[in-house]
């Protein structure tokens, strides 16, 4: 019965949040290694596919990584906001059902 409460949208939100967290980890790793000689920046899509492709030219574009991090942070916040909204709706439904 409780499984019926959590519809496909909840599952999609959970996956989105997990992916955004993993992307933040990849971006943070790139930023942390910005000054590491011969370090190749990783892209989340490549990590997700488990086939990290190295660029011909080593290095990290710190500005690009910071922009990616900011963009991904916004996605993560949006997923969390949607999830909290959905949980609030469920809480209201459950509370109203008790009356």
Q: What integer pLDDT is reported at residue 3 of this predicted model?
A: 55
Q: What integer pLDDT is reported at residue 71 of this predicted model?
A: 87
Q: What integer pLDDT is reported at residue 51 of this predicted model?
A: 39
- Quick check: is 11 in a domain? yes
Q: What is the pTM of this model?
A: 0.51
With a cut of 50, which residues of the chain have pLDDT below it? 1-2, 51-57
- Quick check: is 20 in a domain? yes
CB-based contacts of 72, cutoff 8 Å, min separation 6 = 20, 23, 24, 27, 44
- Quick check: is 99 in a domain? no
Domain count of the fold of the chain: 1
- Quick check: is 97 in a domain? no
Contact 33, 61 (CB under 8 A): no
- Quick check: is 54 in a domain? yes
Contact 42, 55 (CB under 8 A): no
How many whole angstroms separate alpha carbon 72 and alpha carbon 18? 12
């Amino acid at each position: 019965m409780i499984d019926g409460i959590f519809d496909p949208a909840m599952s999609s939100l959970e996956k989105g949040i997990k992916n955004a967290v993993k992307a933040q980890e990849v971006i943070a790793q790139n930023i942390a290694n910005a000054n590491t000689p011969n370090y190749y920046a990783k892209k989340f899509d490549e990590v997700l596919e488990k086939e990290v492709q190295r660029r011909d030219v080593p290095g990290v574009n710190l500005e690009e990584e910071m922009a990616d991090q900011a963009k991904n942070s916004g996605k993560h916040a949006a997923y969390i906001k949607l999830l909290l909204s959905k949980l609030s709706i469920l809480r209201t439904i459950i509370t109203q059902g008790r009356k």
